[in-house]
Structure 1
C-alpha cells in the first residue's frame, strides 16, 4: 500500500517545481535564449520535475505490487495499466522521460528553443500527471 507521507511529499515537490516553472513562463523568448542563467534554471527545474514524477511512479508501482520495475518509461506504463494515468498522460510522460535524458546528458548541445517551447506549451501535461495520481490516491487510499 502506498505510503501516504511519501506520496504527499513527492506530490508537494512536483507541485513546487511546476509552480516555479509557471513563474518562468513569462520570460520573453529572446531573453530566455540570451540568458544562460535562466536556461539553466529552467532545465534543472524541468529535470527535477520529471525525476519527481518518475520517483512517484516508482513508489506507487512498488508499493501497489504492479509490474516489475524496469525503465522509467515502464514505470509510467505500470501506472496506465493500473488506471492511475490515462493513456494520453502516460504517453506524454514517457516523452518527458526522454526529454529529461536529453537535458541530463547533452549538456552544451541542448536546443534552447525546444526547451522554451516545453516551458511555454507543455506544463499542463505535468499538471495532469499531478492530478491523475492524486485523484487515484484519494479514491483508493482515503
Structure 2
C-alpha cells in the first residue's frame, strides 16, 4: 500500500468517525453525563477521530519527507512550519491532542462540558484539517 493510499484510508476513517459523531450532536450535556452508554460512545469516537487525524499528520510528514516529530503535538507544529496548515489551525488541532491524551490515559477526570463543546463546536476543526490535507496531497 502506498503512502497516498494510507492517507486516503485515514481520511476516509476520519470522515466516517465525524459522521458518527455528528449523530450525537443534538444530545445535551446533561444527557451525556447521565447516560454511560452514550458517553462511552462519544468518548470512543472522539478518541478514534483524534487519533486517526494525528496518524494522518504522520503520513503527510512521511510522504513529504519533513523532519520527524518527537510528540503528537509537534506533528502539527511541523505542518505549520512547512506551510501545510496555518498557525490558527495548528493551535486548534493541538487542543485535540490534549483531549486525546485525556481520553486515552485518563490523566484527569473527563470534563463533560469540554467534551460537549468539542462535540458541538470543534469537529469542524478536524474537517478543516482533513480538507487541507486532501488539497496538500492532491487527493481532492
TM-score, normalised via structure 2 length: 0.91
User: More helix by proportion, 1 or 2?
Assistant: 1
Cα pair 2:92 2:125 within 8 Å, conserved: yes
Cα pair 2:61 2:67 within 8 Å, conserved: yes
Cα pair 1:54 1:72 within 8 Å, conserved: yes
For 1:68 and 1:27, the matched residues in 2 are separated by 39
For 1:65 and 1:4, the matched residues in 2 are separated by 13
The CA deviation string for residues 108-138 of structure 1, in whole angstroms up to 9 with x for no partner, is 8211121111111111111111111111112
In structure 1, runs of 5+ residues without a counterpart are: none
What SS is found at the alignment partner of 1:24? coil
> How does 1:31-110 map onto structure 2 within 5 Å?
31-106=31-106, 109-110=109-110
Cα RMSD after superposing both structures: 1.8
Q: How many corresponding residue pairs?
A: 139
Cα pair 1:33 1:113 within 8 Å, conserved: no
- Per-residue deviation at 1:92? 0.7
What SS is found at the alignment partner of 1:67? coil
For 1:99 and 1:108, the matched residues in 2 are separated by 11
Q: Give every structure 1 segment of 4 or more consecutive aligned residues whose post-TM-superposition deviation is greater than 6 Å.
A: none
Aligned to 1:119: 119
The CA deviation string for residues 25-65 of structure 1, in whole angstroms up to 9 with x for no partner, is 01133222210111111111111111101111111112211
Cα pair 2:29 2:112 within 8 Å, conserved: no
